[in-house]
Amino acid sequence: MGIDGKVIAITGASSGIGRATAKLLAGRGALVVLGARTESALAAVADEIIASGGKAIFRATDVRRRSRSDIEVLVALAVERGGRLDVIVNNAGIGPISRFDALRVDDWDAMIDVNLRGTLYGIAAALPVFARQGSGHVVNVISTAGLKMVPTMGVYAATKNAVRTATEILRQEAGPNLRVTEVSPGMIATNFGDGITDQPTKRMIEEQLGEIGIAPEAIARGILFAIEQPPEVEVGSIVIRPTAQG
C-alpha cells in the first residue's frame, strides 16, 4: 500500500478540491501533474508543493476544448516527465446553477462542456496509456447533487449523474487491470459559489457553505484512500459530506 513514486494527473488542480488533493498526494511521495485553466494559479500550487519537498509539474489545461488537445497534452506531459501515468483524477468542474425558468442556457452548455465532456476527454486521454502499461486508475469527482435532487441543481446534477453512469459502465468494462473510482463530495468549503451567475441562488449557496461546508482536504483524503489500496483492490464509490448536510 502507498502512493510513493506514483504519477498522478489532476484536472481542476489550481483551487479547492484539486489543490487540496495535489498537496496531499505530493506529500505522500507522488509526482503530481497539475492541470487547470489559469497558469499563474497552477504555478502557485506547484511552488507550494516543491517548497515542501514534493514533486509537481503543471500545464495550463482547458478541458472544454473540443479538440481534446489540452487534456491529451497534460497526459503526455505526465508520461514524458514521469515515465508513466498511474492515476488520472478528473476533478475539473463548474456549477453556475439556477432554476430552469431563469433560462441561463449558456450556463447549461458550460456545465455540459466542463463537467461531462471534460471528464470524458480525460478518460479518453488516459485509457490508451493505461492499456499500454497494463494498469491504471480513473478517479472521477462527481457530487452528492446527483444523489439528492433539489431545485436549482437540475442541469448540474444531470451532468454529474451522466458522469456517474459513465463511471459505472467504465468500471464494468475495465477488466482486472484498470481501477475506477467515483468520489461524490457534498457541501465543501470552496469557491464553488463564485461561478454562480444567478444572484439569489448564489446567496443561498454561499450561506449554506458558510454554515456547514467542510474543508476540501476531506475529499483529498478520500481520493488518497482509493489510490493507496493494493492493485487488486478497487474502491468503487465514496460519498463524503458534512454530518449536518441533509
What confidence score (pLDDT) does residue 204 get?
Answer: 86
DSSP letter, residue 29? T
Is 121 catalytic? The answer is no
CA distance 158 to 168: 15
Residue 193 — pLDDT band, cuts 50, 70, 90? confident
Helix (H) or strand (E) holding 157: helix 154-173
- Catalytic pick from 58, 121, 156, 192? 156
CA distance 209 to 212: 6
Write down the CATH number for the domain with range 7-240.
Answer: 3.40.50.720
DSSP letter, residue 213? P
Query: Cell 453556475 appears where?
Result: 96
What confidence score (pLDDT) does residue 68 get?
Answer: 87
Q: What does the pLDDT average to over 139-150? A: 94
| pLDDT, tens only, 30-65 | 999 999 999 999 999 999 999 999 999 999 999 987
Whether 1 has a pLDDT exceeding 80, the answer reads no
3-state DSSP assignment of residue 22: helix
Helix (H) or strand (E) holding 50: helix 39-51
What confidence score (pLDDT) does residue 208 get?
Answer: 86
| pLDDT, tens only, 162-174 | 999 999 999 999 9
- Grid cell of 129 as nine digits: 496509456
